[in-house]
Amino acid sequence: MRILICDDPREAGEAGAARIGAALQARDEPVLGVATGSSPLPVYRALAEGVGLAGVDVRAVRAFALDEYVGIDPAHPERYAHVVRREVTDRLGLDPSRVHVPDGTAADPDAEAARYEAAIRDAGGVDAQILGLGANGHIGFNEPGSALDSRTRVVTLAPQTRAANARFFAGPELVPTTAITQGIGTILRARRIVLMARGSAKAEAVRAVVEGEVSTAWPGSALQRHPDVTLVLDDEAASLLARAVRRRALESSRA
């Protein structure tokens, strides 16, 4: 696991974009894995400015989102299909027909989850996956207790996650209770993973991801089993890491 500490959001975005872009280069039809949430936004801004994308045919990029609410009003601006369109597809100039988000309005969400898992596999898997991290350690919407080999499926959102996302809805009770998410096992099949986390609210989860036992209690800890993961953190998110780990991270961030 490689750790970078970049306190400036712009620098963090550029560091993330450089690593993501490098994994997309030299692929005819690169597959990008995208996450919603605020943490990855600086990466999308940097990619939109071309950071890391030299030699990448943006119109050939295929993208798969991690997750989507089930039962959200199709017109709601926080529906991830809309968020991904705004923040990723339009900004980067991707071909909308190549950008995929699980269909949270599907009549049979379980069948939709299985279809989505197969679509990622049929695309050859994800070359570069951008991730955020929940304060409870979730990746995608894989809440604590999720099996480490789980696949795309319908999940129930943790109360903490619904509370954290209530700011995007008119009232906490309006946050959907279920979602479709790629599984932890699905995410781990991406060839490269870049996780972005900022702020003290993420510090405990970051420590669990980096220094804890691999455990379903902290879904992000499964990333320890992946050979190519980079965490791009700010000082606060890194604040609970062992001093030696932080020192090494700062050194490699300056390199």
* 241-252: b (≥16 Cβ within 10 Å) or e: beeebbeebbee
State which H helix or E strand residue 46 sits in: helix 41-48
Asked if 61 touches ligand GLP (CB under 6 A), the answer is no
Q: Which stretch binds ligand GLP (CB under 6 A): 14-22, 90-98, 132-140, 222-230?
A: 132-140
State which H helix or E strand residue 112 sits in: helix 109-122
Q: Which stretch binds ligand GLP (CB under 6 A): 81-89, 127-135, 218-226, 237-245?
A: 127-135
User: Checking DSSP bridges between strand 128-131 and strand 31-34, what pairing results, if any?
Assistant: parallel
Are the C-beta atoms of residues 94 and 178 closer than 8 Å to each other?
no
Asked if 141 touches ligand GLP (CB under 6 A), the answer is yes
CA 105 – CA 151 distance, rounded (Å): 19
Q: Which is nearer to ligand GLP, 16 or 140 (CB)?
A: 140
* Residue 126 backbone phi and psi in degrees, to 5: -90, 130
**The one among 132, 137, 176, 219 contacting ligand GLP by CB under 6 A:** 132
Asked if 161 touches ligand GLP (CB under 6 A), the answer is yes
Asked if 253 touches ligand GLP (CB under 6 A), the answer is no
Asked if 65 touches ligand GLP (CB under 6 A), the answer is no
Asked if 69 touches ligand GLP (CB under 6 A), the answer is no
Residues forming the site for ligand GLP (CB under 6 A): 35-39, 66-67, 132-134, 140-141, 161, 165
